[in-house]
Chains A and B, each alone.
Chain A
Amino acid sequence: MPMVYDAHTKVTLADTLATEVPTHGLEVEELLRPVSGAEIFLRALDAEGVKIVFGHPGGAVIKIYDEMARIKPGFQHILVRHEQGGTHAAEGYAKATGRVGTVLVTSGPGATNTVTGIADAYMDSVPIVVFTGQVPTHLIGNDAFQECDAVGVTRSITKHSYLVRDVRDLANTIREAYHIARTGRPGPVLVDLPKDVLLAETTFRYPTEVKMRGYSVPADGRTDKIARASTMIAQSRRPIIYAGGGAIGGDASALLTRIARRGGIPVTTTLHGLGAFPENDPLSLGMLGMHGTWWANQAIQHADLIIAVGARFDDRVTGKLDSWAPHAQVIHIEIDQSCISKNVFADCAILGHVRPVLQKLESMIAPLDTSGWLKEIAGWRQQCPLAYESDSKLRAQYVIEQLRDKTQGDAVVVTDVGQHQMWTAQYFKFLHPRTHITSGGLGTMGFGMPAAMGAAFGLRELGSDRPVVCISGDGGFVMNAQEMSVAAAHKLPLKLAVINNRFLGMVRQWQELFHQERYSHTDLSDTNPDFVKLAEANHCVGLRAETREEARAIIDQAWKVTDRPALMEFNVAKEEMVFPMVPAGAATGEMITERLTPDSFV
């Protein structure tokens, strides 16, 4: 018998407009004299309230850069040194501020260089708008110089994309692009701008309304479903909240924290959910999944109710689906209908914005008696704590703990991808939303450094003096190291920690565990640069530590640098592995840990 799911019909346009959050504070501009498409582009960005654009010029967008010099728009243009760095910077900016990031690049290679960043933003629901130049419309399809079908190439990695064929559509398209990127489940939107459209002239009026019959955003969640969820919560004996990036993107972490404390419900978060719930709270179980804590995963396996908030049951969270959370009913609060019951059937699916749903839910939650359940979890916590060898060697976990102590958790931490990323997730103990930025879904090495730069620009815009700390590995750092000089030029006091084990550490770990220790092409010692010299060559401060004492000393030194990035290279032990671990495709109950074989558990 077919199950009854939420109706997949769309809500009306009126609902869209009612729930939309307008962020463009400027008055709507109107120009009656005809102006060029390039000028319209700049004025539209100003009208949209764009404060910063990460870009790189080229032939197809030269008119925009020309008008930029003439008009001097209200936004700041940051000249990045590679378009991929630009897209990651826009992502870091968007993640740190909650605003839409903007990228401007030329046609052909400019467009293709943004592909990795667009895919990354798509996987991690980051709102960015990427403007790509295009050859003139009459040359499209002609294999013209620097031609690339940018819309075609990015079709399956964008939330939506546009090719603007007529200058009269330009302002409206830009309005729609930002609207789509920002609302609902956020994501990247690409706008392809042929050169002749940028040269053509028309009058400019920035539309106040968006009219798209095919696009709507779910409303606030059905009250009957929320009431049903509250009943399920009241009846549960072993509930657990599983919070994802949506809890932070939906600005719901304070609400979530109140609900968890009121109900006495333990909270585990995904990688992107880190910071949604303070990790120094006794109810916090840390991260779950492949490199999550033993106790969070055990709690999931024994829970009778999972309250999923803005999370998508990704394979790195669930492991083998069939045996994940075998006793738990699932409440799923989610804005993207396509995530509901995609991997795990939701017994109660609430389609809507996380914030209004949790607001309604909060009033329906009564304190639960979970003391027995919490005691059981405390037992698992003791059984297999997060630990590493504390010999004299400098280890990555130690460095991360020192960075945590230095900042007291009051920093925006941006990581790259690999072992250091997992250790940061495990050991940093995140306390605030939007303080943890990483490439989770796509797992893009080279993300960290430019994203940290973008985050720092965002914090500067917000007037925040939180330090931005980039934690990266030696493998990933090199992939976008060129952006260091951009950060230096803008005097951003980034703290760049390079955890150097002279290996592609995560691949090495898999080679050691699952491929009979054949370390095929993961040794980087011959090809690594001298990181201190690399920093200095890019107008940054370079520091190096080999021991624990030196590590503490260079962290202190780095924090004294206020006018440019400071790179700290930590030469750590290469044999270190991330534990605990659920091997890919294995059941969550089958975690590998250093000191415990989990045979005694189901």
Chain B
Amino acid sequence: MDKTLILTPQQIIRKRAAGDPIEPEEDELVSQHTITVLVENSIGAFIRVVNMFSARGFNIESIAVGETDDGTVSRMNIVTTGNDRIISQILRQLSRLVDTIAVENLSDTNYVERELCLVKVEYKPESRAEIMDISAVFRGKVVDITRTAFTFELTGPSNKIDAFINMMRPHGITEVARSGRVAMKRDAFPD
């Protein structure tokens, strides 16, 4: 029997609210969200936030932490995935922590997101020009060079960094360091 035939209207409302599939062939509505959290600038506060994710079984794709203009406040940018129910739950659980000052889901807003990446790539005389070309396309910066390898610095949205790494991979990447995403809401233009 088709499962939807036995769902009551109220059950359908609940499933829609949670982002759960209703038709058997429907996928769960899982999406990626960037959440920004202002926390007290202490290790304890940082651990409490991370611990909440692990204790409650939420997922963290990337995390970036740093001090804000106010030295007593840190900004944590957390990228996570889940359906609407899970994302709402994450936001509520974060707000509930005593050390969190503000919590916002940037994915509900117009925001700018950047990641910094350092990539070490081996080169040979014959591949050197091509590697430099790729770097130029991505506006990469050479921050270190030896007789066998370049170290590039690259800033941008995460998909640009993914693309850069993919382009460099055939040439032999020896090391990658990514910062995790930092993000900020765009201000609205005054009318």
Contact = CB atoms under 8 A, between A and B. Distances in A.
A159 B98 contact: yes
B101 A213 contact: yes
Contacts of A212: 98
A70 interface: no
Given A214-B98, A337-B96, A347 B13 contact: yes
A340 B18 CA distance: 12
Interface string A328-356: 11000000111011101101000000000
B36 interface: no
B14 A155 contact: no
Nearest to A152: B47
Nearest to B40: A214
B95 A344 contact: no
Contacts of A151: 44
Interface string B1-25: 0000001101101101110000000
B12 to A, nearest CB: 10
B13 A10 contact: no
Nearest to A212: B98
A327 interface: yes
A548 interface: no
A337 B103 CA distance: 13
Contacts of A10: 95, 101-102
Interface string A298-342: 000000000000000000000000100111110000001110111
Nearest to A329: B10
B69 interface: no
Interface size class of B (residues with CB under 8 A): 35 or more
Interface string A438-458: 000000000000000000000
Interface in A540-590: none
Contacts of B52: 156
B8 to A, nearest CB: 4
Contacts of A180: 98
A212 B103 CA distance: 16
B84 interface: yes
Interface string A213-230: 111000000000000000
A345 B18 contact: yes
Nearest to B97: A214
A463 interface: no
Contacts of A215: 98
Interface stretch (A1-9, A30-38, A99-107, A267-275): A1-9
Contacts of B8: 326-327
A338 B108 contact: no
B50 to A, nearest CB: 10
A5 B108 CA distance: 13
B62 interface: no
A160 interface: yes
**Secondary structure dominating the interface of B:** helix
B51 A214 contact: no
Contacts of B100: 214
A326 B10 contact: yes
B98 A3 contact: no
Interface in B97-111: 97-104, 108
B13 A326 contact: no
A214 B48 contact: no
B171 to A, nearest CB: 42
A344 B98 CA distance: 25
B64 interface: no
Given A8-B92, A326-B8, A341 B101 contact: no
Nearest to A155: B51
Contact of B103 (A8, A329, A345): A8
Contacts of B47: 155
Contacts of B92: 8, 337-338, 340, 342
B17 A214 contact: no
Given A3-B17, A214-B101, A338 B51 contact: no
A476 to B, nearest CB: 27
Interface string A159-196: 11001000000000000000010000000000000000
Given A155-B48, A338-B96, A344 B14 contact: yes
A2 B108 CA distance: 9
13 contacts: A2-B108, A3-B16, A3-B88, A8-B88, A8-B94, A9-B95, A10-B101, A10-B102, A160-B98, A325-B10, A337-B92, A337-B96, A338-B93
Given A3-B88, A338-B96, 15 more contacts: A8-B91, A8-B92, A8-B94, A156-B51, A213-B101, A214-B98, A325-B10, A326-B10, A327-B10, A329-B10, A337-B95, A338-B89, A338-B92, A344-B14, A345-B85
8 closest A-B pairs by CB: A156-B55, A345-B17, A338-B92, A160-B98, A345-B14, A326-B8, A3-B17, A337-B92
Interface of B: 7-8, 10-11, 13-14, 16-18, 39-40, 44, 47-48, 51-52, 55, 84-85, 88-89, 91-104, 108
